[in-house]
Amino acid sequence: MSAEHSNNRYTLIYNGQLYNANDIRKELIEDYNYTFQGYSDTEVVLKAYIQWGSKIISKFNGIFSFAIWDENKNELFLARDHFGIKPLYYTIIDNDIIFASEIKAILKYPKVKLELDSQGISELFGIGPAHTPGTTIFKNIYEIKPAHFAIFNKYGLHITKYWELKSKEHTDNFEETCNKVKQLLKDAIDRQLISDVPLCCLLSGGLDSSIITAFASRYYEENDLSPLDTYSIDYVDNDKNFVKSDFQPNSDKHYIDIMKNTFHTNHHEIVIDTPELAKALEDAMIARDFPGMADVDSSLLLFCKYVKKGATVALSGECADEIFGGYPWFFREDALNSNTFPWSIALTERQQLLNPDISSKVNLKEYIDFRYHESLENVEILSTDSSETAEKRKISYLTMNWFMQTLLDRSDRTSMYNGLELRVPFCDYRLVQYLWNIPWEWKAYNGREKGLLRYICKDLLPKEIVDRKKSPYPKTHNPTYLKTVKQMLTDIMKNKNAPINYLLNRDYILDILETDGNSFTRPWFRSIDDRSSAYGLSLSSKYVA
């Protein structure tokens, strides 16, 4: 979109959704006499930049990555939302900047060379499927970090951080805190329910998605809208093969039924079969441009594919665990004392996956240690923090800046691959900032994960939902999936000259295959099954190679 103003021309390329667009449009009309041709938030972003320049970012509440070309200045402005929900990659070649929402688009530029150096290998096998903010696995291809903007002109690229979590003493009492959190959460959900295209909620029956469904159902009822559409995912024969674990304590169906009956939603159950799930591994890797989270990626991609048939926008409960303290590692001493990222501890196995020639030149532990301690240096601890709050600030910071980024990337890339826009109300920066300073003893109210959130919503949801133990994104428990993926990888490894063997340790992978994965003893990425994750990464690495 282009606009003329004061004998200058501005052109915008925009990806995202601005949730306070109406507020900004009103201010531009009433205070600065701007006129608008339509009601799109795209026009609001462009004219807000014309009025305020780089200062506009402090006004925006939404998910976005965009670029604005200022013709008179011969200058490009790039920006990305507070938590990097929308991606923005770039590279600089011969004083030109090439940027896009996906790495695969940058690769279309003829001068871009696709190279995997030692840092890229360390990111892929040491940090992956997470990544260090600002980097990619490919040499000289970077991302604009979350909460940053950049200006590119004849003097080069200049990057500025426009927002960060601020540590300060929490002065509200418990009752005031509960009311403020509930108000912020309701406002975030209400803003994100506004849509001129079909909208739905993803419902797993867990606490987070149920809260969004409950608020959304009330909103629909108060505004005389049709019944809210909700969607859930399951897998063929999952009821027969479900195995209880710390990370998957119970299945979803019983709780989904409670929610859809309580709030009278128009519910749709999507059931995926094993062959389809395994086949989608390749599409999921292509959607993300690099190896991710195996079947967790492919199942979400398929889920979004089927949801898109009935809706264009979906609200998800993503990010509640990160900001309210919902993961097991917030409570487990072994994770808290691991002195590394608690969701990624299989270092020996990761190192062994590398081709010995590469492994001798790349020290994954050294690289992970560097990134871990580098990240912790950014955590601001207050003298007023209790020892527990100080400790949890560190693990919360790591979780939000690494683990949450991985899940947000997965959600956006697999949904947009299908033309579905995924919104995440729990990731509203105002809510996250307020929660950052709440004492841990309150967040873990009654000693529970997400205890504060449970307490706040105790009158909103059925008791069974409020008390339900945290359960992650659903995955298949059908043994035929493992068998199928194993065979797919075996077929690839039979070819000794396959490019993957220049990157990976063929003998070690064959050993994993021959022992049914039992030689890979720890999860690749916490909460993913040991064997299928190792197989999935090896399959994905085929395309990198």
> What confidence tens digit (pLDDT) does each residue in 79-133 have?
999 999 999 999 999 999 999 999 999 999 999 998 999 999 999 999 988 999 9
Same domain, 463 and 493: no
330 touches 320 (CB < 8 A): no
The span from the CA of 469 to the CA of 486, in Å, is 32
Task: Provide the pLDDT for residue 115.
Answer: 92
Above 90 in pLDDT, residue 471? Answer: no
The span from the CA of 513 to the CA of 484, in Å, is 12
474 domain-assigned: no
Q: Percentage of the chain with pLDDT > 90?
A: 75
12 touches 68 (CB < 8 A): yes
Mean pLDDT of 166-174: 97
Task: Provide the pLDDT for residue 526.
Answer: 58
Mean pLDDT of 405-421: 96
Same domain, 403 and 530: no
229 domain-assigned: yes
CATH number, domain with residue 444: 3.40.50.620
Same domain, 456 and 530: no
Last residue of a domain, one of 467, 499, 521: 467
Tell me what the pLDDT averaged over the chain comes to.
Answer: 91
166 domain-assigned: no
Task: Provide the pLDDT for residue 529.
Answer: 44
Above 90 in pLDDT, residue 533? Answer: no
Task: Provide the pLDDT for residue 542.
Answer: 54
Task: Provide the pLDDT for residue 415.
Answer: 98
Mean pLDDT check: name the lowest of 4-8, 101-105, 190-194, 295-299: 295-299
472 domain-assigned: no
Same domain, 204 and 55: no
186 domain-assigned: yes
What is the tens place of the pLDDT at every residue in 231-252? Answer: 999 998 877 766 665 555 567 8
Same domain, 153 and 66: yes
For residues 523 and 199, the model is more confident at 199
Q: Percentage of the chain with pLDDT > 70?
A: 92
Same domain, 364 and 511: no
Domain coverage including residue 501: 479-544
pLDDT band of residue 527 (cuts 50, 70, 90) is: very low
Q: How many domains is the chain partitioned into structurally?
A: 3
Last residue of a domain, one of 432, 467, 502: 467
What is the tens place of the pLDDT at every residue in 504-525? Answer: 999 988 888 888 766 666 666 6
For residues 141 and 493, the model is more confident at 141
Q: Which two tokens stand for residue 8?
A: 């200058």
Mean pLDDT of 126-154: 96
Task: Provide the pLDDT for residue 472.
Answer: 67
Same domain, 130 and 182: no
Q: Model pTM? A: 0.93
Mean pLDDT of 144-152: 98
Write the single-letter amino acid at 455: Y
Above 80 in pLDDT, residue 201? Answer: yes
The span from the CA of 155 to the CA of 139, in Å, is 23
Above 80 in pLDDT, residue 273? Answer: yes
Task: Provide the pLDDT for residue 528.
Answer: 42
Residue 262: which H helix or E strand, with range? helix 253-263
Give the three-class secondary structure for 5: strand
Tell me which residue has tokens 């030149």. Answer: 361
Mean pLDDT of 30-34: 97
Task: Provide the pLDDT for residue 530.
Answer: 46
- Residues 6 or more apart whose CB falls under 8 angstroms from that of 207 comprise 317, 320, 450, 453, 454, 457, 461, 465, 466, 468, 470
264 domain-assigned: yes
Task: Provide the pLDDT for residue 248.
Answer: 55
Tell me which residue has tokens 């938030």. Answer: 41
First to last CA, the chain: 38
168 domain-assigned: no
Same domain, 149 and 182: no
With 0-12 / 13-18 / 19 or more C-beta atoms within 10 angstroms meaning exposed / middle / buried, residue 471 is: middle
DSSP assigned state of 400: I
489 domain-assigned: yes
Same domain, 421 and 514: no
CATH number, domain with residue 52: 3.60.20.10
Tell me which residue has tokens 């900032």. Answer: 433
Same domain, 232 and 134: no
Last residue of a domain, one of 445, 467, 489: 467
321 touches 470 (CB < 8 A): yes
Same domain, 14 and 127: yes
For residues 85 and 343, the model is more confident at 85
Same domain, 321 and 280: yes
